[in-house]
Amino acid sequence: MSDAIVRIMCPNLRCRAVLAVPNEARGRLVRCRNCGSNIRVPQKVVAPAVPDGDGADGDSVETSQNKPNAA
């Protein structure tokens, strides 16, 4: 889906309308057409890079679920 539209929910608990605002509105205040509340449109969040650890070859990490039970 395109990033041209940002969908946010009004934080007013009596309203909770879903608003569709243009991507250019990120970081700005917009007004809910339903209740009139001012809402700040969040900036685009970039997920931080997750380190692979020492399993650089793509092998799965062995967990206690994978280990055979020692009886």
| Per-residue pLDDT, 1 | 47
* Residue 39 neighbours by CB distance under 10 Å: 19
Q: Within a domain: residue 25?
A: yes
50 within some domain: no
Cβ-contact 24, 44 below 8 angstroms:
no
Tell me if 62 is assigned to some domain.
Answer: no
- State mean pLDDT over 1-11: 82
3-state secondary structure the chain: CCCCEEEEECCCCCCCCEEEEEHHHCCCEEECCCCCCEEECCCCCCCCCCCCCCCCCCCCCCCCCCCCCCC
* Token output for 6: 């940002």
Q: pTM here?
A: 0.55
Domain hosting 18: range is 5-40
Provide the domain count of the chain: 1
Structure confidence by residue, pLDDT tens digits, 13-55:
999 999 999 999 999 999 999 999 999 999 887 778 887 766 5
**Residue 29 lies inside a defined structural domain of this protein:** yes
Residue 27 included in any domain: yes
